[in-house]
Amino acid sequence: MIDKPQDLATDFTSQRHYLLDLLCQLAYKEGDFILSSGQQSSYYINGKQVTLHPQGALAIGRLLFSMLPSDTEAVAGLTLGADPIVTAVSIVSALENQPIPALIIRKEAKGHGTMAYIEGPTLSQGAKVVVLEDVVTTGQSAMKAVNRLQGAGYQVETVLALVDRQQGGAELYASAGLAFQALFAIADLQAHVRGE
């Protein structure tokens, strides 16, 4: 059992350290893996082990909410990995009396009804939306969300993630003119696992 912080409204540093513990204990695995990008890897981060963990989701919501630009009008992400993350941030925003809606971007258009790619409240044209992601490798998943949102008339200038595997995602976002920030680089998790 992982010890949870006594006061979940603690400061950014202790929340970040708690989340790092959770990621290393529950999500980080070493072995032989094929990533969604098709690349082979000697390690894998199953973010859902933490994003769907009750205290993990709360820590994620608090940390990412604190990192949002002040003019953020919604948070969004590509289903399925980002679903619990955008939900956690939206819930924390309500608890902080600064409600920010969550949007979920489908990988394929809905096959019935509105045929929508984007689920959630309809925002005004030009609304500023921040894209959230669990683990960034090449950056392609979040870019799909960015492209869908921009196609719907929203402004996307920022991508926030839990972990950057540092395998091209940051460079892709920079080439698209997007600001990018991750709570952790892969080196942070690997050093923590090794006890450094």
What is the reported pTM?
0.91
pLDDT computed for residue 134 by the predictor: 96
Residue 4 falls inside a structural domain = no
Task: Specify whether the CB–CB gap between 130 and 72 falls below 8 A.
Answer: yes
Q: Dihedrals φ, ψ of 75, to 5°? A: -115, 150
Confidence of residue 37 (pLDDT cuts 50, 70, 90): confident
Residue 45 falls inside a structural domain = no
Range of the domain at 135: 60-193
pLDDT computed for residue 139 by the predictor: 94
Residue 73 falls inside a structural domain = yes
Q: How crowded is residue 194: how many other Cβ atoms within 10 Å of its Cβ? A: 8
pLDDT computed for residue 137 by the predictor: 92
pLDDT computed for residue 4 by the predictor: 41
CA dist 166 and 86 (Å) reads 22
For residue 181, the domain's CATH number is: 3.40.50.2020
Structural domains in the chain (count): 1
Residue 8 falls inside a structural domain = no
CA dist 122 and 59 (Å) reads 27
Residue 48 falls inside a structural domain = no
DSSP string, 50-119: HHTSHHHHHHHHHHHHHHS-TT--EEEEETTTTHHHHHHHHHHHHHTT----EEEE-SS--SSTT--SEE
